[in-house]
């Protein structure tokens, strides 16, 4: 795909290939891994603005970063403008110069609270949120969908209102809320958003290869692409998109293991690494038997030993 620098606010990224915020996965170790393979920008897991306001320890743990990771963005969600601004100004977000407002999450408990994709049906409130968050001094971006259902597509108008409210970049997931993560990506709606605004637009949805990314850019005219689920199965997809060199799965997994253990307790690290190793096994011979052993592993050392057996000679 066409790799180019991309300016967001006063920050210039070295490329236009992003790693999406993925709840339960895009922690410090995973972001650092993807960035090392070429991602121009990685987002934190979705963080509750209220959780930050009320000092939730679990919420704050999602925002660990350090100088080794370098530039990263945080994603927050909520529906109260003042609470979202307070989250932007929270000390835990201090290391993140870019803050994304989630306006696309389709999960029922988020939607029913008037958060995530529910904001697509309340553009006036969405505008107030962006305007308030911009006052924090952060670079504010918005991740949105094309509407709640196909009968009411709002992409261009909603994108225009977010840009007018002060957003510096918009990411458009080319599916409606009711499609969740299934179905065809609507290229025309992403293209409509791009035509409607004069800030960068990132196209999201259906990128599992360099060919997918090229088509998405060609069909939409977007300024870059965002990779989501494909990165869970293969973080080195960013090598393919940016022209970097791949390394062995064992080298990759050893890095992720070390960085996960650096920031998480043994129990969490074990559970997380079991999940990730299982993702990386997709399509491999003997995957079912290895997965069974992985999910019975009780320590990170056990997971590492199985990983070495799986990928040590490959």
The verdict on whether 88 is a catalytic residue reads no
Q: Is 68 exposed, middle or buried (0-12, 13-18, 19+ CB in 10 A)?
A: exposed
Whole-number Å distance between alpha carbons of 156 and 146: 8
Neighbours of 64 (CB within 10 A): 16
Which residue(s) pair with 17 in the sheet? 225
Catalytic residue among 34, 42, 105, 239: 105
Neighbours of 23 (CB within 10 A): 15
E strand or H helix that includes residue 209: none
8 A C-beta contact, residue 138 and residue 97: yes
| CA distances in angstroms from 120 to 86, 159, 243, listed in the order given | 22, 10, 36
Q: Which two tokens stand for residue 120?
A: 């697509």
User: Which pLDDT does position 312 carry in this prediction?
Assistant: 84
DSSP state at residue 146: S
Q: Is 225 helix (H, G, I), strand (E, B) or coil?
A: strand
8 A C-beta contact, residue 37 and residue 236: yes
| CA distances in angstroms from 263 to 4, 7, 271, 278, listed in the order given | 32, 31, 14, 21
Closest CA to 20 of 143, 185, 168, 165: 143
- What is the full per-residue pLDDT of the chain (314 aa) written as tens digits? 889 999 999 999 999 999 999 999 999 999 999 999 999 999 999 999 999 988 877 777 789 999 999 999 999 999 999 999 999 999 999 999 999 999 999 999 999 999 999 999 999 999 999 999 999 999 999 999 999 998 899 999 999 999 999 999 999 999 999 888 888 999 999 999 999 999 999 999 999 999 999 999 999 999 999 999 999 999 999 999 999 999 999 999 999 999 999 999 999 999 999 999 999 999 898 899 999 999 999 999 999 999 999 998 54
Which residue(s) pair with 142 in the sheet? 101, 170
pTM: 0.95
User: Which pLDDT does position 314 carry in this prediction?
Assistant: 46
User: Which pLDDT does position 313 carry in this prediction?
Assistant: 58
Domains and CATH numbers, the chain: 6-242 (3.20.20.70), 249-311 (1.10.1200)
Q: Which two tokens stand for residue 122?
A: 């309340």
């Amino acid at each position: 795909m066409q790799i180019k620098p991309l300016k967001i606010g006063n920050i210039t990224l070295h490329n236009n290939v992003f790693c999406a915020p993925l709840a339960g996965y895009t922690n410090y170790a995973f972001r650092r891994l993807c960035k090392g393979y070429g991602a121009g920008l990685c987002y934190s897991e979705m963080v509750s603005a209220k959780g930050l306001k009320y000092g939730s320890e679990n919420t704050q743990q999602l925002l660990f970063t350090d100088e080794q990771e370098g530039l990263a963005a945080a994603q927050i969600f909520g529906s109260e403008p003042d609470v979202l601004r307070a989250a932007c100004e929270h000390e835990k977000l201090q290391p993140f110069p870019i803050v994304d407002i989630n306006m696309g999450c389709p999960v029922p408990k988020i939607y029913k609270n008037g958060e995530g994709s529910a904001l697509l049906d309340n553009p006036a409130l969405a505008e107030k949120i962006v305007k308030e968050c911009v006052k924090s001094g952060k670079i504010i971006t918005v991740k949105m969908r094309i509407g709640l259902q196909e009968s009411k597509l709002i992409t261009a108008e909603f994108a225009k209102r977010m840009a007018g409210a002060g957003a510096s970049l918009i990411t458009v997931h080319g599916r409606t809320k009711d499609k969740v993560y299934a179905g065809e990506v609507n290229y025309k709606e992403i293209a409509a958003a791009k035509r409607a605004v004069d800030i960068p637009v990132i196209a999201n949805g259906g990128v599992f290869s360099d060919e997918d990314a090229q088509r998405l850019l060609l069909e939409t005219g977007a300024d870059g692409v965002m990779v989501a689920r494909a990165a869970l199965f293969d973080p080195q997809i960013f090598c393919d998109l940016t022209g970097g060199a791949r390394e062995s799965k064992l080298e990759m997994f050893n890095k992720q293991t070390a960085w996960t253990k650096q920031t998480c307790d043994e129990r969490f690290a074990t559970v997380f690494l079991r999940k990730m190793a299982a993702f990386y096994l997709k399509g491999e011979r003997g995957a079912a038997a290895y997965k069974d052993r992985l999910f019975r592993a009780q320590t990170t050392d056990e997971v590492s030993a199985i990983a070495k057996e799986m990928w040590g000679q490959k």
